[in-house]
Amino acid sequence: MVHTSYALLPLFSLVAGIVANPVYLPPPLHIPLTRRANNRNASVERFASHAEHLRAKYGWSNSTLAKRQGKTVGVDIIDQAQDSSYIGTVSIGTPPQSFKVVLDTGSSDLWVAVADCLSCGQTPTFDPAQSSTLQAVTSNTGNTQQVTIRYGSGSVQGTLAQDTVSMAGFTVNPQTLLLVDRMTSGLLDGDVSGIMGLAFEALASTNAVPFWQALATDGQFSSPEISFWLARHLDDENPPDEQSGGVMTLGGTNSTLFTGDVEFVPLTTVGGSPTFWMLEMTGATVQGKTVSIPTGDAALSAIDTGTTLVGGPSDAVKAIYDAIPGSNPVPSMSGFFQYPCSTDVQVSFAFGGKSWPISSADMNLGRISSDQCVGGIFDLTLGSDVSGGGGNPTWVVGDTFLKNVYSVFRANPAAVGFAQLSDAAGGSSGACFSVCGRMA
């Protein structure tokens, strides 16, 4: 017996290339070698076949490797109502029924409206009777399970079920989801039928493993990441209700959509496992000057594609508008502020070392009177004491901010990363980098 031979070199280089995944490192190869001088070619071929046998045995053959390496797939996003919501398409059941769902990194449940749904408007609905793979989820006593999911903007109620769910060529079977038969009126707009929660299982009202997390755990992603470019249509003249809204990449990043490095900031977790995609906000600037914002528990920020604006703790939001000359609370909108429309407002937020500017276009939600415009950062906590927030986010950092960066939600090691958008993705507001500067 010998332990190595020139015929095995390709296998060793393969192992060296994937040494980052130590779980499947094969043991040293033991290949019987009977070298016969006049039959050298035959024994060389035998090495190859032994090597392939060992590859298959230890999971390194072409087919298993392809599975383990997983995929990275871009999903076209739909921008609804001028950056109000960012939508993707999901298929549920057999044969598949297709629905538009809000892509929401601020929650963890998947749900879809079903026929006869109360207060669901004209939204297209899932018909469970048409799916041969649908299973009810019952309790120990055999009853169907009713679940309520509460959001910042309302709630939904329905029955737990399991079915085959697919998005962009990825499939989870079975995926637990909520079949919603009642919701707060106005929770969804237009032809959107549900929400795809993209945060962690610990936050799920259905107690189900979220679709994305099932894929990441199963090794179906190249990297355990979901990445976003969210396009901006806030300023379009006569925009249609729905238009192309960027790209969500499942299983990695798309390098054509950002420039430079992604700055990853480790998630802040409370009690061990991650819930929200939560970071600590470490700084804010307005018109190029640092403003004082609360730290620690009062700086916990949910990075949330499913929220249109940015909400923050009262003191910080007041400090931001205090730094904008001529700004005032909007009398008719609790927690909102207005400022002279002629002011180009430049706000930036830092989470790690870098400070990321919000374009003045995203900050300005539009005119409320002849010369006053409403700002996209609002008071979330309305004077509550946030000093001992118990780990709840006091900031919800939504699309007003996220349109200005390429964002990467990484499960392991758990972090959110930001990078500058490439020109192909509309660019980050380059002018602001020189005005706001980057914090050291």
**Under the criterion CB under 6 A, does residue 41 sit at the interface with ligand NAG?**
yes
- Using CB under 6 A as the binding rule, whether residue 247 contacts ligand NAG is answered as yes
Minimum CB–partner distance for residue 330 and ligand NAG (Å)? 37
Distance CA 436, CA 432 (A): 5
* By CB under 6 A, residue 397 contacts ligand NAG: no
Q: Which of 139, 153, 185, 256 binds ligand NAG (CB under 6 A)?
A: 256
Taking the complex as a whole, how short is the minimal distance between the CB of residue 401 and ligand NAG, in angstroms?
A: 21
CB of 52 to ligand NAG, least distance (A): 6
62 binds ligand NAG (CB under 6 A): yes
Nearer to ligand NAG by C-beta: 12 or 139? 12
Q: Which span (141-149, 204-212, 251-259, 282-290) binds ligand NAG, by CB under 6 A? A: 251-259
How many other CB atoms are there within 10 angstroms of residue 1's CB atom? Answer: 6
Residue 191 annotated as catalytic: no
With the C-alpha atoms ordered 92, 95, 100, 103, is the resulting torsion angle positive or negative? positive
Peptide bond into 174 cis (omega under 30): yes
State the catalytic residue, choosing from 79, 109, 163, 304. Answer: 304
C-beta of 76 vs 385, nearer to ligand NAG? 76
Give which of 6, 7, 26 is closest to 16, Cα–Cα. Answer: 26
* Element housing 321 (H / E): helix 314-322
Q: Should residue 49 be labelled a site residue for ligand NAG when binding is judged by CB under 6 A?
A: no
CB environment 399-430: b (16+ within 10 A), e (fewer): bbbbbbbbbbbbbeebbbbbbbbbeebbebbe
Count Cα neighbours of 328 within 13 Å in the Cβ-side half-sphere. Answer: 10
Q: Binding pattern to ligand NAG, positions 79-108, x when CB under 6 A?
A: ------------------------------
Closer CB to ligand NAG, 185 or 256, in the complex: 256
Whether the CB-CB separation of 395 and 301 falls below 8 Å is answered with: yes
76 noted as active-site residue: no
CB 337 within 8 A of CB 374: yes
Sign of the torsion angle spanned by Cα atoms 394, 399, 400, 404: positive
Q: Is position 250 an interface residue for ligand NAG (rule: CB under 6 A)?
A: no
Q: Give catalytic residue positions.
A: 104, 304
- Which residues of the chain form contacts with ligand NAG (CB under 6 A)? 41, 62, 72, 74, 247, 249, 254, 256-257, 424
